[in-house]
Amino acid sequence: MQTITLGAVDITRVVEWHAPFVPAPVMFPDADPRMWRDNASWLAPDFWDPRTDQVIGNAQTWVLRSEGRTILVDTGLGNDKDRPGTPPWSGLRTDFLDRLLAAGVRPEDVDVVVNTHLHADHVGWNTRLVDGEWVPTFPNATYVIARADFDYWNPANGHPKRGALAGADAEGDHRLVFEDSVAPVHRAGRTVLWEGGYRIDGQLSLEPAPGHTPGSCVLRLESGSERALFIGDLVHSPLQIVEPDCDTCLSEDQAQATRSRRRILERAADTKALVFPAHLAGHGAAEVRREGGKFAISGWAPFERTG
């Protein structure tokens, strides 16, 4: 199953990319290696490869159908992008748009695109290359972006110097991401830059959850008695659900990211909201509960496993 229904909202998973993407000690420099081994029985094989110590994840888009409209949550890596700082993401030629079509979504059908933040792996399909120009992939969509991220990553404001996997080229990648995947949709007049909060419709809304980036946000689904939280990169590996104080080398502000993660996971546990981390492989989403001062995973969503 790649579509589930929560209340009156259909949620479809469209996977763009699935791979081991970075050694665990690089991504989680502060995590005790024992944490991985102690949880190996369920982290492997979907989320961690114990032989190579690599973190495994997806780039994927969540397609929501709500109140007659089609909403995309994050747009993955995109094709033809130049990413010298992260070569595995450079010059991709995936069939993502065909997969989206197989899920019943033509580009012109998309009404709203939500970028949970403006990293390369969340904005890629915002645009595509047509005759040498980056144009909005979803010509009729409103692209909903937190102003805090738009301003932070905008090269015109003087560019941040850190916060990526690969030292020297990281700064260049951030500039390229903005120029090829964010600026073109803004120039086309298709963006809404929001502050404080943003309501998409009667069942879906956005709220800030800063730290990973200044404008990182969470999409909240409340429909009937059903709840879900699309939490972007508050969690990269489900290890961070059971060890919520583990943050990654990718955060702009690790302490703030950890506070946001704890706050949102507490709410998920207390309101029985299904948790959708952006990159979760396996079954794609998790039910969580409080356990001691941490959290435990009580179940997985019924999406087909990726792997």
Instruction: Indicate the residue type of 114.
Output: V
The smaller minimum CB distance to Zn ion, of residues 16 and 233, is found at 233
- CB of 13 vs Zn ion, minimal distance in Å: 16
The smaller minimum CB distance to Zn ion, of residues 191 and 251, is found at 251
Helices (H), the chain: 24-27, 33-38, 40-43, 96-102, 120-123, 147-153, 167-177, 183-187, 239-242, 254-271
- CB of 122 vs Zn ion, minimal distance in Å: 6
The smaller minimum CB distance to Zn ion, of residues 13 and 65, is found at 13
* Assigned token pair, 237: 């590996």
Helix (H, G, I), strand (E, B) or coil at 88: helix
Q: Count other C-beta atoms under 10 Å from residue 262's C-beta.
A: 16
Core vs surface per residue 230-258: b (16+ CB within 10 A) or e = bbbbbbbbbbbbbbbebbbbbbbbbebbb
- CB of 233 vs Zn ion, minimal distance in Å: 4
The smaller minimum CB distance to Zn ion, of residues 206 and 269, is found at 206
Phi, psi for residue 84 in degrees, rounded to 5? -60, -30
- CB of 35 vs Zn ion, minimal distance in Å: 21
The smaller minimum CB distance to Zn ion, of residues 66 and 153, is found at 153
The smaller minimum CB distance to Zn ion, of residues 46 and 233, is found at 233
- CB of 149 vs Zn ion, minimal distance in Å: 13
Contact residues: Zn ion, CB under 5 A: 121, 233
Placement of tokens 């999409």 in the chain: 219
The smaller minimum CB distance to Zn ion, of residues 278 and 288, is found at 278
Placement of tokens 């890629």 in the chain: 124
- CB of 102 vs Zn ion, minimal distance in Å: 24
Distance, in Å, from the CA atom of 30 to the CA atom of 7, rounded to the nearest integer, reads 39
Pairing of strands 142-146, 3-6: unpaired
Distance, in Å, from the CA atom of 152 to the CA atom of 193, rounded to the nearest integer, reads 13
- CB of 225 vs Zn ion, minimal distance in Å: 30
